Amino acid sequence: MPDLLIELRSEEIPARMQRKAAGDLRKYVTDALVDAGLTYEAAREYWTPRRLTLDVRGLTARSKDVNEEIKGPSTKAPEQALAGFMRKAGLSDISEAHIHTDPKKGDFYVAHISKPGRDAEEIIADVMPGIIRGFSWPKSMRWGAASMPKGSSYHGIEGKGSEALKWVRPLQSIICTFGPETEDPTVIGFKIDGLVAGNTTSGHRFHAPEPFTVRRFDDYAEKLERARVVLDAERRKEIILSDARNLAFASGLELVEDEGLLDEVSGLVEWPVVLMGEFEEDFLQIPDDIIRLTIKTNQKCFVLRKPGNGLSNKFILVSNIEASDGGKEIAHGNAKVVRARLSDALYFWNTDQADLLDRDKLMASAEKLGLDMSKPLDQRMARLDQLDVTFHAKLGTQGERVQRIVKLATELAPAVGADPKLAARAAVLAKADLTTEVVGEFPELQGIMGRIYAGLQGEDASIAAALEEHYKPQGPSDEVSTDPVSIAVALADKLDTLVGFWAIDEKPTGSKDPYALRRAALGVIRLLVENQTSLSLYEVFFAATPIEIWNSDSAYNRVLELSEAAEIVGGSAIEQGFVDQVWAEYVAPERKEKIQLAITRSYMDLLSFFHDRLKVYLRDKGARHDLIDAVITPASDDLLDITRRVEALGAFLDTEDGKNLLAGTKRAANILAAEEKKGTAVADKVDPALFELDEEKNLYSAVNQSVSAATQAIESEDYSAAMSALATLREPVDSFFEAVLVNAENDSVRANRLALLAMIRQATGAVADFSRIAG
């Protein structure tokens, strides 16, 4: 079977674009070949800074002949229908169609279409120019005559304007060869904007710039290697990592590995050469995170550490040139730049620990927030408040937000086992490092620098940790804080964000989530569930309510809309009278009821959003979707409680008692539903005097005992015990259905037996809605 080799060689492609571009090339080409009727055995993409390569193996040499029938309208159809059929079938006259007969429908037209197969070379030459011209890049450019406006000219060269080829960087050559291993491949010489595909490429820009010809992939890869180009990106990464480790080990040091940096650096070189640079030890007084980020961000270099004793003053760089002096000048040049960058970082570090020159102007903010202006981090928080930095146009400033977080963290602290004073102190400093010089230069260090600066000014260890950990978790794989102070501040931060954005109706829509609200909700879920913390979300929502936003004139139209649509359900009723209790001094009497209804409606929607996120979280943990649906109700606002119920229900249904009870309960529910639909009378309560059989008496007794035991277990949140209590119903339920005819002729007996079935439904419903469970 023939193989196809494609290479698109250009100027240097940005490292962040290479992997996706190579994958796109594979997809675009293989999709086009398959759509044209070809098949292939395997395809693999490769990339370097200067080339995208595709190796397609086992490509069929020709597409198959296609014979198809296109059914048309009746022979009595109007002209318009016949014209549409001819266009669809590609016929010039209706006489070219065949007439078929159906016993029921009569005569109708059928077009017999025969399409001969095409050679693969023809198909490839046909699809490749369109793929290249329509290639999707985050950013692209035109060059040469193509960069000039259409109709213009320079030294006799006419501009092509927007019609010209655009590529991420100037495209220099194209390889396109096709053929079996046993023969010389065919060069498919399609043309695009003056470039003609061939079998010629060049190697390393400096070590081997001379052009050379290739035949197929193996020959191509081997010649590139001789021309100082390592085609496989994974192999370049292995070379860099192995050489860097060895070079560090030879100096008695350890490499601080960074997968993201390794990916980026492997996309900057075609022939990786690993070298070691050095800077002055005085710079080691800067925290390790700042040194690492300075060297990584500005020079794309790896830092080294002394075994068990902090960073070293040496670093690893990766060159694209095998220099004659062994890379000394390259390492020296990189070290000069690193020194300059570290000098800046040292200045930022020292400045952040000094008093602010304008701290006297910050006293009003300091007094409002209860800050100690003898401490540098407190001064930065006062500045953040004094600058009135906007958090969101409708949600106020960062300073106002910090005040809300402090209040909420203090209220949440007892529920998570934290000291309220420590939680309040951590919350008031949580965003202080946003105004530091280091975070201004390296935003990814927010939180980390807060922890470091808090430690330097003598804050409690829990407070310092919370300044970093309150941002966590930032995703499904990120670690979750376990320190109670960190949990309190993290919950307050995330819940303030969610409640605030729900108040202004800025919710995620479809794939759009500009404020990362789904991530915030998942963070709350993980903080509560993984720390085994029970919390009523409804109560927290109301505690976090931004009073001034709901009571503003600009929000009142939305208040009216929500209050008219509001339907108070379940747990939301616990907050009736909330406005009277909390807002008496803020809210005009005529607005109280409508604002109460609007807030309740909004928080019902927010709780539903949490339910959706919890379902995703639990499914990722292996829980069955039907068990989750069976446990969650619109008023379920304790996420840990939901999780425990799902776990207990899943374990119970894995047992024989659970499976049989599920079948019996669903049978009872189905009978009840059918009779209720027909309007059959169901007694309000069970009357033991109407029992005719022992199985009725036994079931009645078992249900009462089970309900009593299950209720006690649920009140103590022991759901395994609740399930064990329900398990005792299995035998009496089975016996009841074997011996008892529910639809008795006597109306009173029938109504009583249906009431007994209702007791079964009610008993199991205390734990879950069994009707929503599959099986």
* Average pLDDT, integer, range 545-566: 68
**What does the DSSP assignment read for 614-660?**
HHHHHHHTT--HHHHHHH--TT---HHHHHHHHHHHHHHHTSHHHHH
Q: How far is Cα of residue 520 from the mean position of the Cα atoms in its chain?
A: 12
CA-derived radius of gyration, the chain: 36
pLDDT grade for 156, boundaries at 50, 70 and 90? very low
pLDDT digits over 650-705, tens only? Answer: 988 888 888 888 888 888 888 888 888 888 888 888 898 988 889 989 989 988 88
Provide, for the chain, the percentages of residues in helix, strand and coil under a 3-state DSSP scheme, each rounded to the nearest 5.
Answer: 55, 15, 30
| Burial bucket for residue 161 (CB in 10 Å: 0-12, 13-18, 19+) | middle
Q: Which of 63-67, 602-606, 702-706 has the lowest mean pLDDT?
A: 63-67
What tokens were used for 700?
Answer: 């009645």
pLDDT at residue 573, rounded to an integer: 38
What 3 state SS string does 565-612 have? HCCCCHHHHHHCCHHHHHCCCCCCHHHHHHHHHHHHHHHHHHHHHHHH
Which has the closest alpha carbon to 507: 551, 558, 473?
Answer: 558
Average pLDDT, the chain: 89
Distance CA 134, CA 448 (A): 44
Phi first, then psi: give them for residue 518, nearest 5 degrees.
-65, -40
**pLDDT recorded at residue 678:** 85
| Tokens 């310092």, located at residue | 464
Helix segments in 354-483, DSSP class H: 363-369, 376-386, 398-416, 420-429, 437-441, 448-456, 461-469
Q: What share of the chain in percent tops pLDDT 90?
A: 60
> Angle, nearest 10°, between helix axes 656-678 and 639-653?
110
DSSP state of 141: B
Stronger pLDDT, 231 or 588, i.e. the higher one:
231
How far is Cα of residue 544 from the mean position of the Cα atoms in its chain? 26
User: Does this model's pTM top 0.75?
Assistant: yes
Residue range 757-761: mean pLDDT, rounded? 86
**Is the predicted pLDDT of residue 157 greater than 60, yes or no?**
no
User: Residue 187 phi/psi, 5° resolution?
Assistant: -90, 120
- How far apart are the two ends of the chain, measured CA to CA in Å? 50
Closest CA to 327 of 284, 277, 370: 277
CB 271 within 8 A of CB 323: no
Q: How many CA atoms lie within 13 A of 489 on its CB side?
A: 32
Q: Are 172 and 49 in contact (CB under 8 A)?
A: no
> How far is C-alpha 406 from the geometric centre of its chain's CA atoms?
29
Amino acid found at 622? G
pLDDT digit string, tens, across residues 707-739: 888 888 888 888 888 888 888 888 888 898 888
Angle between helices 461-469 and 420-429 (to 10 degrees): 50
Cα distance between residue 329 and residue 322, in whole Å? 12
pLDDT at 580: 44
Long-range contacts: 232-241, Cβ < 8 Å, 24+?
232/46, 233/18, 233/19, 233/46, 233/47, 233/48, 233/266, 233/267, 236/48, 236/266, 236/269, 236/270, 236/272, 237/262, 237/263, 237/266, 239/272, 239/274, 240/265, 240/266, 240/272, 240/274, 240/318
pLDDT value at 14 more than 50? yes
What confidence tens digit (pLDDT) does each residue in 210-238 have?
Answer: 999 999 999 999 999 999 999 999 999 99
Q: What is the pLDDT of residue 267?
A: 96
| C-alpha neighbours within 13 Å on the C-beta side of residue 207 | 20
> In the predicted model, is pLDDT for residue 569 greater than 80?
no
pLDDT given at position 153:
47
pLDDT at 572: 42
Query: 236-272 in b/e burial notation, b at 16+ Cβ within 10 A?
Result: bbebbbebbbebbeeeebebbeeeebbebbbbbbbbb
Question: How many whole angstroms separate alpha carbon 391 and alpha carbon 397?
Answer: 5
Most confident of 106-110, 156-160, 770-774: 106-110
The pLDDT score that the predictor gives to residue 190 is 95
Q: Looking at 504-536, list the stretches that DSSP marks H as alpha helix, in order from N- to C-terminal side.
A: 517-530
- Residue of 295, 288, 281 lying closest to 311 (CA atoms): 288
7 phi/psi in degrees, rounded to 5? -135, 130
**Residue 166 corresponds to which amino acid?**
K
